[in-house]
Amino acid sequence: MKDIDRISTTDIEECVCSKRLYHSDQYHLVTDDEKVRVQENLLKWYQAEKRTNMPWRKENDKSWDAKVLGQRAYEVWVSEIMLQQTQVATVIEYYNRWMTAFPTIQDLANADIEKVNSLWAGLGYYSRAKRLWEGAQKVVHQLGELLPNNAKELQSEIPGVGRYTAGAIASIVFGEATPVVDGNVIRVIARWRAIHADPKKAKTVELFWDIAGSMVPESNPGDFNQAMMELGAQICTPQNPNCVGCPIRNDCKALNQLKHAQELSKMGFFDEKGKKRKMADSDHSCTVCHQLPNDLEEDEYTVRRYPLKVDKKPPRDEECAVTIIERSISTNAEPLYLISKRPETGLLAGLWEFPCLELDSLNTDYHERIRKSTDFLKTRYHLDLNQSTRHDLGNVVHLFSHIRKVYHIEWIQYQGNLDVIDIDEGQVKWVALTELKASPIPTGLKKALKLLEKFKTKTFTPLKKRTVFDGCNFGWLNFVLTENPAGRSNAHMMQRIVTSSHQHLGRIKLSANIQVRIQLYCTMEQENTGKVTRLVVFAFWSVVLLGLPFWWKTTEVYRANYYQLSTEIKAKLADKLSSFKYKANFPIDVSVYEQEKAKGHKEATIGHYFIYVDRADDTGLKVGSERSSFLKINDMTTNSIANTLATVIPPVYLSEYEDLGNMACHFEQENKNDVSSMRTFKYSSQYETTFSLMNNNPENMKMDWEIRNAVNSYLSLFLKEVSIVSNFTIDSQIQNYAPLSLKPYFKEREGKPNYYYFEPQHLPHFVNSAEWNLASTITSYPSINFILYVPSVEEAPLRVHDSKGQPLLTSAFLIPRWGGIVIKNPPKSARNEYTFTKEDLQPIMKIFLSQLRSLIGIHDLESKISNKFSANCHVTFEPATRSGITTLEKDNLIRSRTMENVVNTISTLKSLAQLVDEIPNMVVEDHISIKVHRSLDALDSVSQALSRDSYLEALQSSIETVELAEKAFFDPTMVSMLYFPDEHKYAIYMPLFVPISVPLIMALLKEIKKLKQTKNIKMKDE
């Protein structure tokens, strides 16, 4: 039997093989390894998957003072009290309404209990609201307006705060390492530790608290407690637990029992022969879990068996007579309703209700109930109901946790003498309907009010018996006439009458009048049958004549202002790029100052650059990492400076115009593309970047790497700098057993170490082979791959040759628009395991950074323009800071990506116009037209922003215009009817419509013929 996940299988095997889950108390203990593993996995899952729609769930800040923490504690207190026995979706609305009315604990303490109850109405368990109010008063008046900061004092000092609520507030707000145990946590722990005991018993409850307390970490106790509750609410649910998505599934004893039982089932453990086998020699010595009386079947090994299901005591039945008493002062005045206040203790304490009489017996009939209700109203409210109108509205049922309450509802329109009613305004009052709905009344009586409103608006039509024969009062005949089953025709009724009459001829005799009426009725029924037939034929033809045009219209290809849209695209984009003046649209301003003024100048903005001139023996230019350069020149005359600047400015600051021109030419002529543009990824607002460590043979050596630290140290500053252009998501993975489909060549050298190598022509095969092992990612954004490949010891050292047959120093290469690869031979000092530390990865990350620069369109200015200067002019470039990109390079990237987006937008929209022109059956819906117009508007915004030297605004507008253009072009609705032209309608539907039309035409001709015959007969009779 193989091991199951990470849990030691010894106890699991003995437990499952016993067939009665025998185990000891040690079975439920948590090891130190399990504790650390569960804490890490659960907190990591919670940070990624926690629900964010709860207004009371906020991130804590260590800088908060006592007052802010007190307010936070109040918010958590309110939410936890509301969440008791109530779902989150219900609580959110009540919580927001509560915090609007009582934003602070002082507001709640100063509030009226009536308002508190009215805001709580509908949540149930109304004593919770009163305890909140009482607790707030104690905090404000006795505890200095601040809740205690630990669970012990919270539980002892605050009314209504128990062990769970105290633990929640203390851990979430004040960071105390104290547990919380609610229904969700009980379910999680019961399954995780396989505890099959009554969760209501004190001993079991204490065990849950002990286990939960041992798991709470000193750091982030609040997040851990919320993670446990979230796990029970979202994953470890009562009926359908999502064990696949559970972060602690590898340590779950209940799940591993199931897996072990499945393994045993494959070996025949549960079949007839297996049942005769001797069970594991073990006893049930656990003092907590119930001992099972019978062997478990295979399907009884399930996670849902935990926690133990205990039969609930059924709720007791109670009945109550509810009287809705309504009085009207005048015809135009709004009616008033009588309500009274319930006692301050007990069920629904302090709420308002209609007059209610608790019925002693559950079998009280209607008349007895009315009599008791009348006596109750006369005694309690001094109401005389002799002149009142009474309506029985039926009953409504409301379920409490322990009571099934049936309310018998009666509506009384009171007409008595109002002066004799003894009203105690504190306990009994008359209220209008609006005030009644705003009052804190129980949910069950809200149902009664809705029943009254429904009764008032509903129209009742009394049932009437149909009489066919005048003067016929025979009992058997009346029965036949009045007991007509639903759906039977009148002809069938007549047949029953005739049949019944013949059966009773011995006792009665039908009159001639009745017999004539029967005969006439049968004749009329035949005429009605003909009418029905004609109506059916007419209905079918109506469907055909009305449905065909409707069907034809609905299958037409819709185009939203197609001609106008196509014309507008062509007119607006005509010669857009050919008339685009690069230097005018991308203005660059170079200012020259003396060296002394360098200290007083602030950093220039995009498109504005400073050159500081100073005297020196040799002429040279130092290009700074920011937007400033320093020119050293021997001859400080005006002509000499001007000539030198004319030599150095174009290569440094204007060379990118060549790239911008190439972009525009790429739109017009493909052959003007350069190698650098083919290497660069097409622009995207986001790139999915994956770093992969590929280990050829992990059996010889297991590999790991500190990629997270390396990315944070060597790459994060660069990504932050270029985030203004594009965002990057970073993933990492380790792929073991990643062999290549091609074999490297062996290089044998005399007197030197031998090695293996790849030729340049082999590298594409290298990538194709590696791609099979990369984890697939479903995303709409481009993916950039960086691979650190570690060959096996048998093929090491492995190198890459250049085109001249010489080994490269770095054994790294770049694949255009795909990613970069670095081959790293296993260290000689490594034995069975090796981890690439952050320091080991520094040179590798430097290579990856260089490759990433090329892939996203950052060109090395130094290598590009160094050959454009004369020999007597020494040019140096200040290297980039830790960010890996100079400000000048970032400016060039912003301008080039802006230009690229403009080019792609124009190309996409022109293609769209051409496509719609050439394919007449392509759908163009309104939302596509809107996207095109918005894209054109954004394209104009690019030019307007550039005219104001606002490069960042131009970049954002270019991103918007290209994304809108591509969304319009690739909209799926455009091809929904691409292959369904009008002529296909005939080919597809003619075989369907022709067979149907034949019987319709024949029936129509037949009915026309009958009408003609009937008309001729009438003419003859006349």
* Cα four-point dihedral sign 567, 568, 571, 576: negative
Nearest to 857 by CA among 969, 979, 722: 722
Q: Which of 75, 80, 319, 353 is catalytic?
A: 80
Q: What is the DSSP string of 334-363?
A: PPEEEEEEPPSSSTTTT-EES-EEE-S-TT
Separation between Cα atoms, residue 470 and residue 517, nearest integer Å: 10
Q: Are 254 and 13 in contact (CB under 8 A)?
A: no
- Inter-CA distances, 427 with 324, 351, 436, Å: 16, 10, 14
Q: Roughly how many angstroms between the first and final C-alpha of the chain, as a whole number? A: 102
Instruction: Give the pair of three-digit tokens for residue 49.
Output: 């998957």
- How does DSSP assign 767-831, residue by residue? HHHHHTTSPP---SS-EEEEEEEE--GGG-SEEEB-TTSPBPSS-EEEETTTEEEEE-PPPTT--
Helix (H) or strand (E) holding 316: strand 316-327
To the nearest 10°, the Cα dihedral for 142, 144, 148, 154?
Answer: 20
Q: What is the DSSP string of 576-590?
A: TTTT--HHHHS--EE
Angle CA(62)–CA(66)–CA(72) in degrees, nearest 5?
A: 75
Task: Report angle CA 434, 435, 437 to the nearest 5 degrees.
Answer: 70
Other CB atoms closer than 10 Å to residue 805's CB: what's the count?
A: 10
Q: Specify whether 80 is catalytic.
A: yes
8 Å CB contact between 942 and 957: yes
Burial class (CB in 10 A: 0-12, 13-18, 19+), 732: middle
| Residue/partner pairs of 927-931 with CB below 8 Å, 24 or more apart | 927/971, 928/560, 928/968, 928/971, 928/973, 928/974, 929/560, 929/561, 929/565, 931/964, 931/965, 931/967, 931/968, 931/971
Q: How far apart are CA 681 and CA 857, in angstroms?
A: 7
Helices (H), 504-594: 512-554, 562-573, 582-585
Write out the H or E segment, with its range, that includes residue 227: helix 221-234
Q: Which candidate, 182, 116, 178, places its Cα nearest to that of 148?
A: 178
- Cβ neighbour number for residue 10 with a 10 Å cutoff: 8
Closest alpha carbon to 493 in 477, 506, 508: 477
CA 854, 859, 864: angle at the middle one, nearest 5?
A: 130
H/E stretch holding 46 reads helix 32-49
Q: How far apart are CA 1011 and CA 1007, in angstroms?
A: 6
What count of Cα atoms within 13 Å lies in the side-chain half-sphere of residue 428? 12
Active-site residues: which are they? 80
